Structure 1
Amino acid sequence: MSKVFFISDHHFGHGGIIDFESRPFKTVDEMNQVMMDRWNAVVLPEDKVFHLGDFSFLNKEKTANIVNQLHGYKHLILGNHDRGRARSWWLDVGFDEVSEHPIIYKDFFFLTHEPMYMNKHMPYVNVHGHIHGQKYEGKNYFNVSVEHWEYTPITFEQIRDSVVADEEQ
């Protein structure tokens, strides 16, 4: 049975992010390879991955090379660093779907790149990236930036179970 995964903010090819976010890599090439390996270690070809933005800083050919090595059906929600390129560019490099706007998943989860305003009385959860190693407090936010998950996509069940655990506390 196929699974659904979430991840954001790989910043493939972005050397500065290693220092900005204290990533444990010596070079961009090492970072790129480790992140691809960790993706493919958990995602099978029949799985679906929602990438919540800021995928790559590389050119079209190098980005396509990475996308085509990654397992799964890949759905990109454009992040602030992705928007300089047209939706068609991202489809051309191999993403199966590209969204310019947030998605509502399973009538309860708002999938966005940047965290959105969530009133504490709202019964929904905003699954997001953008803020990397930071974390918003409260049960309404779930950060899937790579820095929180050892550079590995996480399953929908991990998110759902974490949200349920927060509500029980």
Structure 2
Amino acid sequence: MRSWFTADTHFGHGSLRALMRRPFETTAAMDSALVAAWNAAVAPEDEIWHLGDFAVGHGDPGGLLASLQGTKHLVWGNNDPPAVRALPGWASAGPMAEIEREGRALVLCHYALRHWNGQRKGAWNLHGHSHGTLKPLPRQFDVGVDPRGYCPVRLDDLRAPPGVAA
């Protein structure tokens, strides 16, 4: 089992597609490309943590969730209404999570944190929400689809930008 991370898919959110200048001609094309990238990376036995803003305005978020591979966890964001949070396809759903993977402590939140548990002991903060617009702190990574090539990432994929210690 491998662990994957993503955020800010905004399935069904046409105005965000335009606002973020995502390179897809239509919202349906965006959704299709995001599903294909997810399922190409994430195997059925893998786990994936979605750090908020899963689907906004999608007509069938439950069917969409069922079409995505992996054991899916939601750390909800500001655009995840109660109906999305309660979908039966989530293995877990909450406002924040602290987990350990590959020997690394991770603090997962939709929002970039200024301080997080274990920060001075090497813990990483993985987040979404900012769509790649924030300068990260050391050991802080935006795992949203916009700065990550529109696909989920693994811990090995996360690299600190030049000048920022990992």
Q: Same fold (TM over 0.5)?
A: yes
Rounded to whole Å, the distance in 2 between the matches of 1:56 and 1:135 is 22
Matches within 5 A, 1:43-82: 43-58=42-57, 62-82=60-80
8 Å contact from structure 1 (residues 7, 49) kept in 2? yes
Higher helix share: 1
Deviation at 1:149, TM superposition (A): 1.2
Q: CA deviation at 1:69?
A: 0.6
In the alignment, does 2:103 pair up with 1:105? no
Partner of 2:129: 130
Give the TM-score normalised by structure 1.
0.84
Letter in 2 for 1:96: A
Q: State whether residues 91 and 97 of structure 1, in contact with CA within 8 Å, keep that contact through their aligned partners in structure 2.
A: no
Shift in Å, 1:93:
4.6
Q: How does 1:113-128 map to 2 (within 5 A)?
A: 113-118=110-115, 122=120, 123-128=122-127
Contact 2:13 2:56 in 1 (8 A): yes
Structure 1 residue runs of 5 or longer lacking an equivalent are none
The alignment's C-alpha RMSD in Å is: 2.2
Deviation at 1:13, TM superposition (A): 0.5
TM-score of the superposed pair, with normalisation by structure 2? 0.85
| Larger CA deviation: 72-81 vs 50-59 | 50-59
Instruction: Report the counterpart of residue 18 of structure 1 in structure 2.
Output: 17
Give 1:29's aligned residue. 28
Identity of aligned residues (%): 30
Paired residue total? 158
Q: CA 1:64/1:93 → structure 2, altered by over 3 Å: closer, same or farther?
A: farther
Give, as a single letter, the amino acid of the residue that structure 2 aligns with 1:95. W
- Quote the offset at 1:65 in angstroms: 1.3
Gaps of 5+ in 2: none
Rounded to whole Å, the distance in 1 between the matches of 2:135 and 2:165 is 16
